[in-house]
Amino acid sequence: MSDTFVKISQIYKEFKMGQTIVRALAGVDLELEQNSFTVLMGPSGSGKSTLLYLLGGLDRATQGHIEVNGQVLDELDENALAVYRRRTVGFIFQSFNLIANMTAQQNVAFPMRFNHSTNRLRNQRATEVLKLVGLEDRMSHRPTELSGGQQQRVAIARALINDPWLILADEPTGNLDTTSGANIMQLLSELHRSGRSVLVVTHDTRMKQFATHHLYLLDGKIVSEDEYNAASILLTSRGSIL
């Protein structure tokens, strides 16, 4: 395996909800290697998405350090963080986050608008990545004219438009049927094989077969698979849904 690409040290994240302080992450330490495919699993409220947002530069940690490809995120100002989001990471959301009144091509090209690139270059690149995800015949369709699986593929194409090193996916199959979900997993696996690092937060255990690493999060902390399974059995017996 190659070098460490992501290094997370003692990350804490707290949210203030009225008078109450909720601790979403409680001292997470994590290292991801370059060209790894990591699946992060955990029950609802365990802090999975929070961790992904911190890694994606969409939020800041209360305490601790995050280093991605040599950039220490907590030392970056807002502008530098925006550049990091644009160049280093591609983010895929469960609800796709496509802009409703834009076509698939415009949605995919959107993150390039702020790179000072020409319209022609943006459209050319958007066409390339839409071909990569098998949607070259749906370029002029708006999100409402596409199926859930197709919308997620557009979202993946958008995440790839600036050719990022790191792909972060938050429950990418959560809103999809079984077949579409399997296609998305296959696509993420292909991205990994093409040399990118992929971190997927999911409940879908089928994703584990594509992964090189499995991580488990419980109550804001990374735990072993055994601890996670034990907790799963306990929670299932109490009627909780993982």
Q: Contact positions toward other proteins, by CB under 8 A?
A: 53, 58-59, 82, 85, 91, 95-103, 106-107, 110-111, 113-114, 158
Closest to other proteins by CB, 38 vs 103, is 103
Closest contact distance (angstroms) between CB of 80 and other proteins is: 13
Closest contact distance (angstroms) between CB of 106 and other proteins is: 6
Closest to other proteins by CB, 164 vs 216, is 164
Cα 130 to Cα 136: distance, rounded to the nearest angstrom: 5
Closest to other proteins by CB, 90 vs 231, is 90
Closest contact distance (angstroms) between CB of 102 and other proteins is: 5
Token pair listed for 124: 């050319």
Cα 35 to Cα 3: distance, rounded to the nearest angstrom: 9
Cα 10 to Cα 214: distance, rounded to the nearest angstrom: 19
Residue for token pair 């796709």: 96
Closest to other proteins by CB, 35 vs 103, is 103
Alpha helices in the chain (DSSP H): 48-55, 78-87, 104-109, 119-132, 148-160, 178-193, 225-237
Give the DSSP letter of residue 5: E
Residue for token pair 């990418």: 172
User: How many angstroms separate the most distant Cα atoms in the chain?
Assistant: 57
Residue for token pair 């004219």: 145
Closest contact distance (angstroms) between CB of 75 and other proteins is: 20
Closest to other proteins by CB, 102 vs 223, is 102
Cα 208 to Cα 85: distance, rounded to the nearest angstrom: 26
C-alpha pair distances (Å), 124 with each of 102, 103, 109, 135, 140: 17, 15, 9, 14, 14
Closest to other proteins by CB, 82 vs 230, is 82
Closest contact distance (angstroms) between CB of 152 and other proteins is: 13
Closest contact distance (angstroms) between CB of 61 and other proteins is: 15
